[in-house]
Amino acid sequence: MTSKGRIFSGMRPTGRLHLGNYLGALQNWVALQNEGYECIYCVVDLHALTTETDTSHLRANTYEMVLDWLAAGLDPQKTILFVQSQVPEVNELHVILSMVTPFGRLEDLPTFKEKVRQNPENVNYGLLGYPVLQAADITLYLAQYVPVGEDQVPHIEFTREVVRRFNNRWGEVLVEPEAKLTETPRVMGLDSVNKMSKSLDNHIELAATPEEIRRRVMTMVTDPQRTHRHIPGRPEVCNVYHLHQIYTPADQVIRIEHDCKTAAIGCVDCKKIFAASLITGLAEHRERRARFAADPDYVWDVLAEGRKRASVIAQDVMLRVRDAVGLP
């Protein structure tokens, strides 16, 4: 089968993956792999350094995250899975791309402003340059499509601009990528205010036990106007309802919508039903994950093989980049 195009994406190894990572990105990663795209997925450990000052968990987090990838259906026979720092060509491309990056453009990116707000005592040069390194990740593999959640769209737009500037100055070597979103590009956290995010601890892990799922779901914020059991709810503004639409069978969802609008059920009952749906919905993931974890070397073997395959592409593209730039 010929490839429909080259895909690249990455995730930071900052912990086990959550529903937002899956519904916003990982689900698409698996689908694209199975639709005949040539896929390259990266553990972006250097990106994790921008916010993680304690780096002692990077290795364990990489292992846990790749288990989630495999359990979700990424297939190392079809797809390259590798660790960013193990293919160091990306650092050289990062430096070159930084020369066609206007400084002010980086300061204006919403993700930078948000991280500064969340963590004002650790605003480092690497954090500002994060999108340039990300542009290097994507363009080093000449990727055409980048499956990501909505929060990453400004970075893909930024990458396109950098590619245009590079190609204008040095010739058509790099490829302008396009973002690919899922139908749920922004999953809200348990607080219903922020996007679900590892760093905000407002998430549910894909690998959560039934007990953890029940506990976390019961803390979910529902329609803020439904302050009493007898007040009818508005499913259209309720995060629990949105997730019911994904994890609960359709006939049951219709009943929940009706019962919520008529105050026939309260939010606690609704959340109990959702917890049960989610426990069922994630059971297979948990089982597959445990099977992959049974051989502790497997993840590392997969990443070692991915490193070799990624290096071949990266080295070839860097030869072309150096030649275009005129480096002696």
Which spans of this chain sit near ligand ATP (rule: CB under 6 A)? 11-12, 14, 20-21, 24-25, 148-149, 151-152, 185-187, 195-199
Q: Which residues pair with 195 in a beta bridge?
A: 188
C-beta of 84: minimal distance to ligand ATP in Å? 12
Compute the least distance from the CB of residue 158 to ligand ATP, in Å.
14
Structure tokens at 126: 């690497």
Residue number, 149 or 266, with CB nearest to ligand ATP: 149
The residue whose Cβ lies closest to ligand ATP is 24
Which lies closer to ligand ATP via its Cβ, residue 187 or residue 260? 187
User: How far is the C-alpha of 214 from the C-alpha of 266, rounded, in Å?
Assistant: 16
Q: Rounded to whole angstroms, how far apart are CA atoms 219 and 81?
A: 35
We find the least distance from the C-beta atom of residue 289 to ligand ATP, in angstroms, to be: 18
Minimum separation from the CB atom of position 3 to ligand ATP (A): 22
Helix 239-247 to helix 250-261 angle (10° resolution) is: 160
Q: What's the one-letter identity of residue 101?
A: T
What is the set of active-site residues? Answer: 115, 195, 198
Q: Which residue, 259, 256, 262, is CA-closest to 274? A: 256
Which of residues 85 and 152 has its CB atom nearest to ligand ATP in the complex?
Answer: 152
The pair of three-digit structure tokens given for residue 236, joined into one six-digit string: 């259209």
Report the nearest approach of ligand ATP to the CB of residue 328 (Å).
38
Give the residue with the Cβ less far from ligand ATP, 12 or 289: 12
Q: Which of 135, 97, 91 is nearest to 325 (CA)?
A: 97
Q: Judge whether 25 and 9 are in contact, CB under 8 Å.
A: yes
Extract the tokens encoding 103: 């400084």
Tokens read off for 101: 């990056």
**Identity of the residue, 195 or 226, whose beta carbon is nearer to ligand ATP in the bound complex:** 195
